[in-house]
Structure 1
Amino acid sequence: MRVVAGDELPPFTRNTGFANWNRYAAVNDEFVPIHMDDESGRAAGHPTAIGMGNLQWSYLHNLLRGWLGGQGHIVRIEGQFRRLNTKGMTVTARGVVTAVEQDADGVRTATLDIWTEDEHGNTLLPANAVVRLN
């Protein structure tokens, strides 16, 4: 796999809302009212129910795994939640390669800036990742 600094990853996009959240909650036993019910979201000061933070992590994992296409694996992801994902939002995970290195044993790694953003380009979850390339 040829990877150079500056490469942009193909985006991973999802429209968010109850259907996506319900499937995620079912798999993770996360039926928390603030994630499932608009009234609970409003009671907490939000315009709607809010998406699960870990669902955004899964979007970043999908972004990286899709880009790697079986030609490597994720070593590390670190990030910080900055904005909420509310119902009806379109969330896109994006990324760019910032560095590629090879150690003395020939192991190649890539460092990336990755993030999720809403349909207006507001960053929801800025992060960075290291992947090992095959």
Structure 2
Amino acid sequence: MVEAVQQMQEQEFEVGAALPPFVRRAGLAAWNRYAAVNDEFVAIHMDEAAGRAAGYPGAIGMGNLIWAWLHAMIEDWLGDRGRLEYMECRFRAPALTGDEISCAGTLRGRETREDGATALELEVWADKQTKERLVAAKVLVVIPA
């Protein structure tokens, strides 16, 4: 049984392996919950007219909320097997009211460190339902020996 679990983990941590997707709906309900926790009641995130006045088609989602969704996807996949050590995001476009945001990722590199820990390099992203890339990120995850 232990060998089967180890083999499954090895396959999951192979270069090229995909992370399970994490999907959320953008809009006032999600943005309001995020704003309440982070005291981020900024007009362009809460009001369609304010978003349009700022040059967007309407209210836009918080970039840090999408960052948090990417983080949640990684944590769901990784569980207690390791830790997220580094994450760098590049924001390309805003999420708009009603967008379905799909977070996904791929394991791009694997290295065994001197202490026996395994370092995994991930490429992760968040796309709209139109396949427009909202966020691209590089991540380093460490699994202790």
Segments of structure 1 that go 5 or more residues without pairing to the other structure are: none
- TM score, norm. by length of structure 1: 0.97
Are 1:95 and 2:122 counterparts? Answer: no
Q: State the shift of 1:46 in Å.
A: 1.1
Q: Which amino acid aligns with 1:43?
A: A
Task: Give the corresponding residue for 1:52.
Answer: 62
1:133 to 136, 139, 143: 143
Structure showing greater relative contact order (alpha-carbon pairs closer than 8 Å, 6 or more residues apart): 1
Higher helix residue share: 2
Match of 1:85 among 90, 95, 105: 95
Q: Which residue of 2 aligns with 1:107?
A: 117
Superposition pairs of residues 9-24 of structure 1, within 5 angstroms: 9-24=19-34
TM-score (ref. length: structure 2): 0.90
Q: Establish whether residue 36 from structure 1 lines up as the match of residue 46 from structure 2.
A: yes
1:5 counterpart residue number = 15
Structure 1 counterpart of 2:83: 73
Which 4+ stretches in 1 moved above 4 angstroms? none
**Separation in structure 2 between the aligned mates of residue 43 and residue 9 of structure 1, nearest angstrom:** 38
Equivalent-residue separation in structure 1 for 2:87 and 2:31 (angstroms): 22
- Aligned twin of 1:118: 128
Deviation at 1:79, TM superposition (A): 1.6
Tell me by how many angstroms 1:44 deviates: 1.0
Q: Can you list the C-alpha shifts for 1:97-123, whole angstroms capped at 9, x where unaligned? A: 001110122011100100111001111
Supply the distance in 1 between the matched residues of 2:140 and 2:132 (Cα, whole angstroms).
Answer: 23
Structure 2 letter corresponding to 1:90: E
